[in-house]
C-alpha cells in the first residue's frame, strides 16, 4: 500500500491533504511511511481528528500537538536531580 492509499482509506482525500493539515512536507511524510510507519499513522490519524474538529476548539496543527507530546516525554524521561 502507498501512503496516499492509506490516507484515502482512513478518510483523507490525499497525501497532499495530510501534508496541508500536518504542515509537514510530502517528502517527510513519505520518508516516515517507509522508515517510521507508526509515526506516519499517528500524524495521519491526528490529521483526521483535526479535519473533523470544530474550528473553535483551539487545535492549531498536528505539529503543535507533536511538540507538546515531545515536551511531555522529555519531562518524564529526564534524569531526576541527585540521582
**Distance separating alpha carbons of residues 61 and 47, to the nearest angstrom:** 8
Q: What is the pTM of this model?
A: 0.66
- Flag whether 40 is in a domain: yes
| Residue range of the domain that includes 62 | 3-77
Handedness of CA 7, 8, 11, 15 (dihedral sign): positive
- Flag whether 82 is in a domain: no
pLDDT digits (tens), the chain, 83 positions: 999 999 999 889 999 999 999 889 999 999 999 999 988 998 888 888 777 775 555 655 666 667 666 665 666 567 766 65
**Distance separating alpha carbons of residues 10 and 79, to the nearest angstrom:** 39
- Flag whether 25 is in a domain: yes
- Flag whether 83 is in a domain: no
- Flag whether 27 is in a domain: yes
Three-state DSSP class for residue 29: helix
- Flag whether 15 is in a domain: yes
- Looking at the 3D structure of the chain, how many domains does it have? 1
Amino acid at each position: 500500500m502507498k501512503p496516499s492509499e492509506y490516507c484515502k482509506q482512513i478518510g483523507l482525500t490525499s497525501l497532499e491533504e495530510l501534508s496541508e493539515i500536518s504542515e509537514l512536507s510530502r517528502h517527510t511524510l513519505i520518508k516516515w511511511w517507509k522508515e517510521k510507519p507508526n509515526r506516519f499513522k499517528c500524524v495521519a490519524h491526528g490529521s483526521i481528528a483535526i479535519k473533523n474538529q470544530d474550528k473553535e476548539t483551539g487545535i492549531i496543527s498536528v505539529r503543535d500537538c507533536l511538540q507538546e507530546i515531545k515536551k511531555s516525554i522529555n519531562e518524564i524521561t529526564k534524569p531526576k536531580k541527585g540521582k
